[in-house]
Amino acid sequence: ERIELIGCCGQIIAHLKPVHDRQITIFTDEKEIWFDANLVKIKQLLVILLDNALKYSSDPIEILLSTDEKDVHIRVKDYGIGIPEGEVKRVFERFYRVDSSRHRKTGGTGLGLPIAKAITDVHQGTIRIDSVEGEGTEVIVTLPRRQQEGLSPR
């Protein structure tokens, strides 16, 4: 299906607002960003990334949306606790949680990022994390604007 990303992010933010009352801001130069995707899965992906940013940071959270000829780029950026350098690659493993997170009252199962990875995979996209411990985290998702015939992410 064709979905519109900016509106989709806006809906998720509106949903989270009464629960968390935190500042989540969308930055984009586009008016609308249409691409081929499964709406339910993309919403789930956004919820996972925002939920992590909410849990592991306290300052504003930013969603940066951009496009190029082939892809859409979603970046979820926070200024929170960050992830230690050696552990960034492990957070996509099921049930893996960085030690400092295990003791937080805001619990988690360690399944969020593996699911986020699975969702980007079915969309033929990529996900990576740029993080500095003590400074913050940026999750960068790239998804193709057009899905190849016969491989639509239902």
By CB under 6 A, name the binding residues for ligand ATP.
51-53, 55-56, 78, 80-83, 91, 96-98, 101, 108-114, 137
Q: How many angstroms separate the CA atoms of 128 and 74, rounded? A: 11
Can you say whether the dihedral through the CA atoms of 102, 107, 111, 114 is positive or negative? negative
**CB closer to ligand ATP out of 41 and 147:** 41
CB of 140 to ligand ATP, least distance (A): 12
CB of 98 to ligand ATP, least distance (A): 3
User: Would you state the structure tokens that stand for residue 21, as one six-digit string?
Assistant: 């009352």
C-alpha angle with apex 54: 136 to 65, nearest 5 degrees? Answer: 70
CB of 6 to ligand ATP, least distance (A): 22
How many C-beta atoms surround the C-beta of residue 72 within 10 A?
23
CB of 63 to ligand ATP, least distance (A): 13
**CB closer to ligand ATP out of 35 and 56:** 56
| Residue 120, C-beta contacts closer than 8 angstroms, at least 6 positions apart | 45, 126, 127, 141, 142, 143
Nearest residue to ligand ATP on Cβ basis:
108
**CB closer to ligand ATP out of 34 and 92:** 92
**CB closer to ligand ATP out of 38 and 131:** 131
CB of 146 to ligand ATP, least distance (A): 29
Q: How far is CA 93 from CA 10, 34, 56, 57, 72, in A?
A: 29, 31, 18, 21, 25
**CB closer to ligand ATP out of 36 and 78:** 78
